[in-house]
């Protein structure tokens, strides 16, 4: 269910931002290292170039800011909209209005504005210029359809910013990287007749990209505002786990062993970096933060052309990596996250892949392309999609709801009935139908907790803990509200089966000494915390009998209870491992420790 197949990539070390790069260093021998300027840089140079481009005598001779070039015009407009002056449309300087009108006139019947590069830059400009979002919605949507068919690798503004950030070193900052463009501006200011629109557009884009990159560095240096509650809740047990985990990486990368060889692995690195980031940023040392930053750069450098990460089980790996990158909060990573979003959407089993709504797997996502879907992969994917900025009302979530309902034992919304293979008995086919306890199985008609056989011979997949919490988490990600009957039914199952000693749902007749009760236990802890936290549940109402045998309802503070459970299971070296059932790789200290650290972060 939670398989993490190794996808070993060639090892790639990126130079840390804390490492000096002598070949690019602007300092002379014996001089003090340069200090990065904060705030707005290249202000005068950007203003000067804009003045040159908007000069009235020039505007009278040219149809737009980029002359008769739609590409140059789009680049200039995109840069002007994102520079320190924040030029806008409509109503700002006439040259902007004139240039936007020029671009709109270039629109072709196929939705493009020329070639792929020009179209991509026009989309950039029309997205950021208007005062009201969505003003050019139709133009942008049609242009993006054109670009989707072309699939161009066009370095638009966000990639330009990322390129600047990628060149930053301990002694090289955006204030140095814009010097060449600034020198050109001085030449054009003295003799504007020598200006070439394409070259001027590139210079303006680069200077503004340096401005935006510097602001991003300001934000990163400041870090998030300290969360007093989260900081206070960071326990010695968490620090002990952090220290152990930090010792497992090399240059921010976590590896797996295959036979006699060890390989850096993007999935384990994603899990490891996510877990390291559960330590509040304001508590991390500069050295600890440098490890995280270097690991995130390694992950980003390994992204495949199609937006995925890794070489096998690519949905699973991509979603884990997205979680780590998104948690890092670097605005320069936005293009990579958007690319990953597109890849994850491509994994969904919907009409584009030949699926119809009546198919069992419709709306699901599995380990990768053309793979059978399951609830475990789906909840990871839905979370990754939200982390990449996809809104909850996107059709992907609505289609996922069809599959989610079919995993839930709730007759009022589960329409699945059909033949499924018995997961434990080869060659045995089950006649599956839905139960009605509100919990969830692994996929429609399938459960790793076994089955309940009805008198008529049909089989109901048993609901079990980890998947019921995955269901609740997924419903919340898809925008389903707390008063919805599907959510209420899942919560009712959780209340009736509250248990932190085991992954509940296995037949109660099986003795607790049997290891089957402990399969996926640490995964269960992680998804329990994620689901209840996202659903904004503070206490779980659990019915029990008091000393007199009277049934009473107890409000369980799940955060306090889960923290106590995990801290009591921690090994002397700071790790966790499932000693009772190694299924789904829970015999691996690294994986179980990452699961536990992720859960503990939410037990604040």
Write out pLDDT tens, residues 326-359. Answer: 999 988 899 999 999 999 999 999 998 889 999 9
Task: Give dist(CA 503, CA 128) in Å, integer.
Answer: 49
Flag whether pLDDT at 599 surpasses 60. Answer: yes
The band of 396, judged by pLDDT with boundaries at 50, 70 and 90, is very high
- Does residue 14 come out as left (phi exceeding 0), alpha (psi in the -120 to 50 range) or beta? beta
pLDDT band at 155 (very low <50, low <70, confident <90, very high): confident
Q: How far is residue 493's CA from residue 488's CA, in Å, rounded to a whole number? A: 9
Q: Using CA atoms, how far apart are residues 587 and 578, in angstroms rounded to an integer?
A: 6
Q: Are 439 and 505 in contact (CB under 8 A)?
A: yes
pLDDT reading at 21 higher than 70: no
Tell me, what DSSP letter sits at residue 452? E
Q: What is the pLDDT of residue 275?
A: 96
Coil, strand, or helix at residue 226? coil
Cis ω for the linkage preceding 90 (within 30 of 0):
yes
Token reading at 600: 């503990």
Token pair 């009998």 is found at: 545
Q: State the sign of the Cα–Cα–Cα–Cα dihedral 319, 323, 325, 331.
A: positive
Number of helices and strands in the chain (H, E): 23, 8
Q: What is this structure's pTM?
A: 0.65
> Which pLDDT does position 220 carry in this prediction?
76
Q: Identify the CA nearest to 396 among candidates 491, 458, 478.
A: 478
For the segment 109-129, the average pLDDT, to the nearest whole number, is: 92
How crowded is residue 225: how many other Cβ atoms within 10 Å of its Cβ? Answer: 7
Cβ(210)–Cβ(180) under 8 Å? Answer: no
pLDDT tens readout for residues 376-393: 999 999 999 999 999 988
- Residue located via tokens 């475990």: 376
Question: How big is the CA angle at 337 (ends 334 and 340), to the nearest 5 degrees?
Answer: 155
In angstroms, the CA 102 to CA 109 distance is 16
* SS3 letters across 347-363: HCCCHHHCCCCCCCCCC
- In 205-311, the DSSP E strands lie at 255-258, 261-264
């Amino acid at each position: 269910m939670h398989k993490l197949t190794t996808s070993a990539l060639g090892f790639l070390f990126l130079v840390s931002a804390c490492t000096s790069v002598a070949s690019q260093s602007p300092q002379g021998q014996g001089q003090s290292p340069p200090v990065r300027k904060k705030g707005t840089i290249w202000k005068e140079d950007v203003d000067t170039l804009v003045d040159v481009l908007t000069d009235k005598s020039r505007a009278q001779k040219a149809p737009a800011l980029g002359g008769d070039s739609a590409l140059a015009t789009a680049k200039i407009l995109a840069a002007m909209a994102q520079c320190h002056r924040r030029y806008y449309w409509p109503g700002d300087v006439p040259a902007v209005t004139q240039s936007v009108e020029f671009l709109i006139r270039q629109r072709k019947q196929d939705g493009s504005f020329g070639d792929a590069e020009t179209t991509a830059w026009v989309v950039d400009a029309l997205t950021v210029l208007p005062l009201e979002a969505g003003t050019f919605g139709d133009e942008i949507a049609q242009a993006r359809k054109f670009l989707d068919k072309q699939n161009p690798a066009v370095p638009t503004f966000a990639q330009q910013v990322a390129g600047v950030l990628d060149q930053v070193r301990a002694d090289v900052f955006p204030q140095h990287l814009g010097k060449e463009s600034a020198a050109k501006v001085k030449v054009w200011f003295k003799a504007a007749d020598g200006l070439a629109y394409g070259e001027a557009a590139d210079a303006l884009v680069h200077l503004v990209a340096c401005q935006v990159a510097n602001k991003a560095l300001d934000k990163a240096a400041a870090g998030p505002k300290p969360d007093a509650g989260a900081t206070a809740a960071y326990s010695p047990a968490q620090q002990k786990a952090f220290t152990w985990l930090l010792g497992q990486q090399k240059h921010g990368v976590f590896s797996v062993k295959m036979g006699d060889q060890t390989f850096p692995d993007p999935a384990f690195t994603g899990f490891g970096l996510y877990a390291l980031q559960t330590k509040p940023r304001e508590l991390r040392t500069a050295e600890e933060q440098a490890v995280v930053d270097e690991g995130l750069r390694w992950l980003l450098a390994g992204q495949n052309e199609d937006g995925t990460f890794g070489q096998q089980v690519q949905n699973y790996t991509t979603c884990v990596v997205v979680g780590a990158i998104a948690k890092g909060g670097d605005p320069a990573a936005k293009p990579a996250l958007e690319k990953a979003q597109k890849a994850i959407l491509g994994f969904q089993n919907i009409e584009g892949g030949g699926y119809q709504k009546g198919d069992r797997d419709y709306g699901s996502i599995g380990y990768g392309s053309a793979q059978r879907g399951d609830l475990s992969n789906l909840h990871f994917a839905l979370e990754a999609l939200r982390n990449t900025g996809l809104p909850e009302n996107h059709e992907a979530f609505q289609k996922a709801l069809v599959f989610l309902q079919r995993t839930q034992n709730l007759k009022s919304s589960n329409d699945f009935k059909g033949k499924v293979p018995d997961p434990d008995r080869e060659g045995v086919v089950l006649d599956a139908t839905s139960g009605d306890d509100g919990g969830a199985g692994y996929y429609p008609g399938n459960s790793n907790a076994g089955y309940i056989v009805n008198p008529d011979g049909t089989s109901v997949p048993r609901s079990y803990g980890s998947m019921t919490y995955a269901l609740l988490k997924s419903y919340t990600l898809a925008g389903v509200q707390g008063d919805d009957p599907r959510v209420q039914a899942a919560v009712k199952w959780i209340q009736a089966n509250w248990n932190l000693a085991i992954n509940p749902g296995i037949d109660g007749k099986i003795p607790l000494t049997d290891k089957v009760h402990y399969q996926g236990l640490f995964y269960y802890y992680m998804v329990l915390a994620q689901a209840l936290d996202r659903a904004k549940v503070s206490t779980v109402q659990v019915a029990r009998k008091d000393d007199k045998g009277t049934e009473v309802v107890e409000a369980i503070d799940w955060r306090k209870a889960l923290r106590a459970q995990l801290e009591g299971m921690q090994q002397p070296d700071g790790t966790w491992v499932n000693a009772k059932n190694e299924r789904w790789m829970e015999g691996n200290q690294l994986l179980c420790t990452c699961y536990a650290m992720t859960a503990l972060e939410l037990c604040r």
